[in-house]
Structure 1
Amino acid sequence: MRRARFLLDRSVGGRPLVSRLREAGWDARTLAEEYGDAVAQAMRDEEWIAAGTRSGYILLAKDHRVAVRPLEAQAIYMNDARVIAFVHGDITAQEMGDLCLQHEAAVHRLADVQAPFVFSLGRGGLRRRKLYAP
C-alpha cells in the first residue's frame, strides 16, 4: 500500500485543518507551504491540480464541483489527479477535520485507487463522482 500524501487547496481551512491532520499522523501540506504564499495565491485551479499531482499528492478541495467544471475536470483527467472534495462547501475547518478523521482508513486507501478520480467526502463517507472530461 502506497503512503498517502495530501495537498490542501486554499479554500479548505489552511493551517487549522493541516495542523489537525498532522497531529493525527497525516502527511499533509498547504499550497502555501508547498509553493510559497505568493505563488499559491496566484495559481489557477488547473495549475495547482497539475502541480500537486506531479508531486504525488492526493488533492483536498472544498468544492466537489471540480468534477464538473470544464477546466478543473479536464485538468484532473489530463493529469491523472486524485481529488477528494467535501460535499458541502460551507463547512468549517473543524468539520472538515472531523470528516477526514472519521473516514481516515477509506481516505488513505485512495492512494492505491487508479486515477483520475474525484470522491466527495461527507457524513456518509466517500462517494465517487462522475468526472466530466473528454
Structure 2
Amino acid sequence: MTEYQQQIVFFIDRCLGKHPILEMLRETGINVEIHDDHFPQNTPDQFWIPQIGEWGWIVLTKDARIARNTMERQAVARAGIRMFTLASKKLTGEETAIAFGDALIGMLKFIEKHPAPFISKVYKNGKVSEWKNATELLEKIQ
C-alpha cells in the first residue's frame, strides 16, 4: 500500500451496518470510520455529507438514492465527495464485505485517477465503474 493509500479514510454509511465490512477493511490496513461514531443514527444524508467532505473521507454506501435525490446529489457535489455505492442491494453483510474487499484495489485506483466529486458503483464481483462524474454532479448546481 502506498503512503497516499495509507492516508485514505473510508466512511461506512449506516446502511451498510458495522460488521463484517468494518473488520474486513481494517484487516487490509485501510483507515475506516463508521457513521454512528460521528453522527446520530437518524441524521439526514444532506447533513452528514458536508462534514465528510470537510474531513476528506471517502463514502461507502448502498444508498443509490443519494445519486438520484437532488438535495443529496448537490450536497455530494458541493462537498467534493468521493463515493462508492454498492450496485447489488440484496447481499448479506458478508457478501457486501466481500464485494467491497474485492473492489478495494479498483477503488483506490479510481480515486487516484478521478477528481472529486464522483459517485461510482461497486458490483458484487468487485468491479468498479463510474456512475456520476465531477462534471455531471457540478453542472447540476451551477
Name the TM-score class by shorter chain: 0.7 to 0.9
Residues 102 and 126 in structure 2, CA contact (< 8 A), matched pair in contact too: no
Tell me the TM-score normalized by structure 1.
0.86
Structure with the larger RCO, 1 or 2 (CA within 8 Å, 6+ apart): 1
Q: Sequence identity, in percent? A: 24
**1:128 alignment partner in structure 2:** 130
**Corresponding residue number in structure 1 for 2:32:** 28
SS at match of 1:7: strand
Q: Which amino acid aligns with 2:17?
A: G
Deviation at 1:124, TM superposition (A): 5.7
- Distance, in Å, in 2 between the alignment partners of 1:72 and 1:8 is 17
Q: Does 1:93 align with 2:93?
A: yes
Aligned length: 130
Structure 1, unpaired ranges of 5+:
none
Which has the higher mean CA deviation after the structures are superposed, 9-18 or 72-81?
9-18
Alpha-carbon displacement from aligned partner over 1:78-112 (angstroms, at most 9, x marks no partner): 11110000002222221111112212211122332
Runs (4+) of structure 1 exceeding 2 A deviation are 1-4, 109-113, 130-134
TM-score (norm 2): 0.82
Q: CA deviation at 1:13?
A: 2.2
Quick one: which amino acid aligns to residue 63 of structure 1? D
1:43 matched residue in structure 2: 43
Matches within 5 A, 1:38-77: 39-77=39-77
CA distance in 2, matches of 1:126, 1:52: 21
- Structure 2 gap ranges (5+): none
Query: Which residue is equivalent to 2:9?
Result: 5
Matched with 2:110 is: 110
